[in-house]
Amino acid sequence: MSPLRTLTRLSCPDLLSVQDLSPAEVEGILDLAGLVKSRPEEFRSALAGRHLVLIFEKPSLRTRVTFEVGMADLGGRALFIDQTHAPLGGREKLCDIARNLERWVDGIVLRTFTHQTVSEMAAHAAIPVINGLSDREHPCQALGDYFTLQERFTDLRRVKLAFVGDGNNVCHSLLLTAALLGSHIAVATPPGYEPAREIVAAAADAATRTGAHLELTHDWQAAVTGADAVYTDVWASMGQESEAEQRRAVFAPYQVNEGLMARAAPHAVFLHCLPAHRGEEVTDAVIDSPQSGVYDQAENRLHVQKAILLLLLGNGQRRTARLRGARG
């Protein structure tokens, strides 16, 4: 029997945030990603006839290629709209864009500067919307990262991930994912650069139900000590270029170098969502070392996103009737 017959859709019609998922759904995505990775031939036509549109306000390598290859591998097709020249909603209202797209395609992936754009598109589109990155979260990245950790360590409840750097969108999604999986995460940021309070509160609430262990500190050395994985990201994200010089001075002590990695467990893996600013948040000696898992992460984005596409687009059901009824 095909494994597709055993799958169910996600309870939420979109994936805008890790908060849209239950603990069981996060585990289910990771398990399905493993199945897709190990038995790709069984999914070759799973999304035959489906179309996915990618609309990106920001440049992309990994997100674009993995979604395009993922759709092709599943028998569907991806279309790309380059929106880097102007933000969405400038030439045409988002509600009108959404209502056009829902007539042509089966799903939308957005990579935007503001999370509000993703939320507004989902509110108006009668097809699934996937957050391919916003200023608030990067859910596909975090799910791919924890799939990578599961491959290495099997039991995520026994894994400690140390995130060192800016409490940004990637940090937010990692916190929420760790909380839902009952895992251990320690986040070390400079004062004033902590993750958003509402994200921390949501993660803490989930942790009370799953037994996850969440630490927030300014002590990067304490965060990394004994960690199974050490994660960092750029100090100035896209859209923060004007702050880059100031941030370099503030974040310099938080660089992941050989000395910091030595505080982690001997088997520790180094992770980075890429692209990396070598010589800033991480040294060449670390990112190019045998401990580095950054290219495993990049590969696993493909498999996790295939799982997400299968769960959101797999049975072809749309929300059109419900939303049109709500519009009156």
**Residues catalogued as catalytic:** 111, 138, 141, 233, 273, 301
SS3 272: strand
Identify which of 131, 101, 128 has the alpha carbon closest to the alpha carbon of residue 116.
131
- Pure H helices in 154-265: 169-181, 197-210, 220-224, 244-251, 258-261
CA end-to-end span of the chain: 43
Distance of CA 108 to the CA centre of its chain: 16
Angle subtended at Cα 285 by Cα 284 and Cα 290, rounded to the nearest 5 degrees: 115
Helix then strand count (H, E) for the chain reads 13, 9
- Pure H helices in the chain: 23-38, 62-73, 94-104, 115-124, 139-153, 169-181, 197-210, 220-224, 244-251, 258-261, 284-287, 294-313, 320-327
- Amino acid identity of residue 271, one-letter, is L
* Dihedral sign of CA atoms 131, 135, 138, 139 in order: negative
- In angstroms and rounded to an integer, the radius of gyration of the C-alpha atoms of the chain is 19
**161 - beta bridge partners?**
185, 229
SS3 109: strand
CA distances from 118 to 31, 55, 101, 182, 260 (A): 27, 11, 14, 28, 37
Contact between residue 16 and residue 129 where contact means Cβ atoms under 8 Å apart: yes
